[in-house]
């Protein structure tokens, strides 16, 4: 909460800003790569100047750039976004607030990671549910809700409409 008060006056930028606690994402849509890079570089300069004024420092090592589009011809193209003359790392599918965002926003990679996490947690619950000794039904229910359902449902409203979500649920 205190951090939100601290940064309540973020400067205006061309790009849209999305934040939660101390995680901030900026998003810009432009018709050309050059215009997008110019806009992002300008906005990053504005934000870095703001952070310096308030004696905050951007963690360049944790800051990444990514492009979201449907053009297969441009799939390998990397954005050139700079902070303090350092080029930001470009990731094909960065993770933001626990959700893996791929180039086409299909969430396929995210769903594969969730599936692996849920599968391992279900295996743990199965071990707890031995037929001769196992945990009580109440313990199993609480454990399943805490370990399995929480992982499976995290951010579901974001990715649930993806065609990959339907395919993954059948597996």
C-alpha closest to that of 22 among 9, 43, 5, 4:
4
HSE of 12 in the Cβ direction (CA atoms, 13 Å)?
0
Tokens of 42: 């300008």
Count, residues in the chain: 171
Angstrom distance (rounded) from CA 146 to CA 141: 9
The DSSP letter of residue 125 is H
Cβ atoms 158, 99 nearer than 8 A: yes
Per-residue model confidence as pLDDT tens for the chain (171 residues): 567 777 778 899 999 999 888 889 999 999 999 999 999 999 999 999 999 998 888 999 899 999 988 788 887 888 999 999 899 999 999 999 999 999 888 888 998 999 999 999 999 998 888 767 778 889 899 999 999 999 989 988 888 877 766 555 555
Please report, for residues 18, 40, 44, 164, the alpha-carbon distance to residue 12 in angstroms, rounded to integers and kept in the order given: 13, 13, 11, 36
Angstrom distance (rounded) from CA 107 to CA 123: 24
Q: What is the pTM of this model?
A: 0.77
Angstrom distance (rounded) from CA 70 to CA 118: 29
Query: In sequence order, which residues have a C-beta less than 8 Å from that of residue 162 and are 6 or more positions away?
Result: 105, 106, 107, 108, 111
């Amino acid at each position: 909460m205190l951090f939100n008060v601290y940064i309540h006056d973020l400067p205006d930028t061309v790009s849209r800003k999305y934040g939660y606690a101390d995680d901030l994402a900026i998003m810009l849509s432009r018709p050309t790569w050059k215009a997008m890079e110019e806009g992002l570089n300008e906005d990053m300069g504005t934000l870095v100047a703001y952070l310096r004024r308030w004696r905050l420092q951007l963690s360049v090592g944790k800051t990444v750039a990514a492009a979201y589009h449907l053009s297969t011809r441009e799939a390998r193209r990397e954005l050139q976004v700079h902070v303090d003359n350092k080029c930001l790392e470009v990731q094909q599918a960065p993770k933001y607030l626990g959700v893996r965002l791929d180039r086409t926003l299909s969430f396929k990679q995210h769903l594969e990671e969730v599936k692996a996490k849920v599968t391992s947690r279900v295996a743990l619950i199965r071990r707890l549910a031995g037929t001769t000794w196992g945990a009580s039904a109440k313990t199993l229910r609480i454990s399943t809700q805490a370990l399995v359902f929480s992982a499976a449902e995290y951010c579901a409203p974001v990715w649930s409409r993806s065609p990959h979500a339907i395919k993954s649920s059948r597996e």
